[in-house]
Structure 1
Amino acid sequence: MSAARPPAPPAKTSGLRRHRALMARLAAGPAPEAVILGDSLAAGWPEPDLTAATGLPTLNLGLPGDRVQITRWRLTAMAAFAVRPRLALLMVGTNSFADGDGPETIVAGLAALVAALRAVWTPPVIVLATVPWRESLPQRSEADRLALNAAIGDLVRIETLALLDCDAALGPDPATGLEADRLHLNARGYAALSAALGSLLRTG
């Protein structure tokens, strides 16, 4: 099994600035009852929609450009804040996938992220999102993405997490839930994911 990439800070200065701004929000309080961590797909999810879906005041700690190893690094930095969210949603992996990381590497990183999250903030409920459909990359195929999501599903079962299946939520024509770049989610996409998240938490 491939090893996870080691935690690493954001590569761009702008990412570090945004990370520090999120740290300042966390420090200012109040302590969130739910959090979302991850990349631009997480960062773009409107907090009011998240709060409505989770039923809890939700703080968005997503950061555009995050890879799994960057989210791990940022969580370590935020561990100084002794928050105790009742729910944590993890939505990260699409950039690692685009970088060419294999399912084993990405899932090993996600497993380490889950372990760290449980150690520092102990949320009783952790939801892990699959990687949504995106326009094909030259070096990756749709079969590669589906293999990654299958591995994420295996991790959810092993770790007793909740799975947010983005493909099921976005439906048979996922492009309608994406912006023109065929990567980032639009309002329709976030509405679909919010409905799926709310249903998952009510029935889970």
Structure 2
Amino acid sequence: MARLAAGPAPEAVILGDSLAAGWPGPDLDRATGLSTLNLGLPGDRVQTTRWRLAAMAAFAIRPCLAIVMVGTNSFADGDSPQTVTAGLGALVALLRAAWAPPVIVLATVPWRESPSGRSEADRLALNAAIHELARTESLALLACDAALGPDPAPGLEPDRLHLTASGYAALGAALASLPRPG
């Protein structure tokens, strides 16, 4: 995880789990068009990302763009779409209160091999709920399935969960096409 240190404040931040943490810095900067601080942490669930943000809220940064890419671990652990989206809604509210970014991008959960007890229909229901949250909260939506295309396999590592360089490139192109701050 990147550290908040003395120096210029980041223009953008990304918060989330290993999918956020694994996004290569130069690719993320290119996709956002801004200096982006990666605050992703492998293993994070929605509630732990929210807890970490609350702990970091004292840092007086004012990014003009924030990307929230978390939920795959909560999904894998069996949280319902309603639980995940309620947590994401609380995370967005805290993000607005702490750092007030004018643009917040909410990412859907990319295709992954279905965890035990979960189905593809469950993940699609979660993504539909995330899409609705983005709409009601006036957030930009990074639709990961659309970005990765009908066959996500080339964008996935052999673990069928994490993204390859081409997967991040596809997400970066989709992110770059979203509305820009300012």
Same fold (TM over 0.5): yes
SS in 2 for 1:131: coil
User: Cα RMSD (Å) of the superposition?
Assistant: 0.9
* Residue of structure 2 equivalent to 1:6: none
Cα distance in structure 1, aligned partners of 2:7 and 2:143 = 31
Q: Quote the Cα distance in structure 2 between the aligned partners of 1:120 and 1:138.
A: 36
Map 1:4-43 onto structure 2 (within 5 A): 22=2, 25-43=3-21
Question: What is the CA-CA distance between 1:107 and the residue it aligns to?
Answer: 0.2
What code does the residue aligned with 2:79 have?
A: D
Q: Distance in 2 between matches of 1:46 and 1:37?
A: 14
Partner of 1:111: 89
Aligned ranges for residues 12-161 of structure 1 at < 5 Å? 22=2, 25-161=3-139
Unmatched runs of 5 consecutive residues or more in structure 1: 1-17
By how many angstroms is 1:200 displaced? 1.6
1:164 corresponds, among 142, 151, 154, to 142
The aligned counterpart of 2:171 is: 193
1:12 aligned residue: none
Q: CA deviation at 1:28?
A: 2.8
Deviations 1:126-173 (A, max 9, x none): 000000000122210000000000000100111000000000000011
Q: CA deviation at 1:201?
A: 2.9
TM (norm. structure 1) is 0.86
Deviation at 1:27, TM superposition (A): 2.8
Structure 2 portions without partners, runs of 5+: none
Inter-partner Cα distance in structure 1 for 2:161 and 2:54: 28
CA offsets per residue over residues 39-85 of structure 1, 9 Å max, x none? 00000001111111111100101000000000000001111100000
Q: Is the 8 A contact 1:54 1:201 kept in 2?
A: no
More helix per residue: 1
State how far apart, in whole Å, the 2-side matches of 1:28 and 1:110 are: 29
Letter in 1 for 2:69: M
Instruction: Count the aligned residue pairs.
Output: 180
Q: Distance between the aligned counterparts of 1:29 and 1:39, measured in 2?
A: 25
Aligned AA for 1:120? A
- Cα distance in 1, alignment partners of residues 30 and 79 from structure 2: 34
- Mapped partners of 2:90, 2:30: distance in 1: 29
